Amino acid sequence: MAGLWQKYLVLRRDGTVPPWPYLVLGARDPAVPIAIWTLAAKARELGMDPQYCRELHELAEKFDAYRLQHGDSDPDAPQHRTDDPGTVSRLSER
């Protein structure tokens, strides 16, 4: 596996790469809806905006629906695409 933390490049709307660690979660990963529900529960426990918590619940439901339609993925499978050198070079920016 190429490395969980180096699999995706996230760009903010201004085109910059966030300087903090991040994790991209895919809708076809069967573990992700549970992770989102857990995030929503913790956010609620911390007193975060109820709308934010509701939107997390809605996102988990969308992920479930997508996975039911398109099937599970294999997020822990070995790399199966050829890296783009320009994109990979940007991963080192973070």
Residues written for the chain: 94
Q: For residues 58 and 28, give the distance between their C-alpha atoms in angstroms, rounded to a whole number.
A: 16
């995030």: which residue's tokens?
39
3-state secondary structure 27-41: CCCCCHHHHHHHHHH
pLDDT tens per residue, range 52-92: 999 999 999 999 999 999 988 877 777 777 888 888 788 76
Lowest mean pLDDT among 2-11, 40-49, 65-74: 2-11
Residue 5 pLDDT > 70, yes or no?
A: no
The pTM assigned to this predicted structure is 0.74
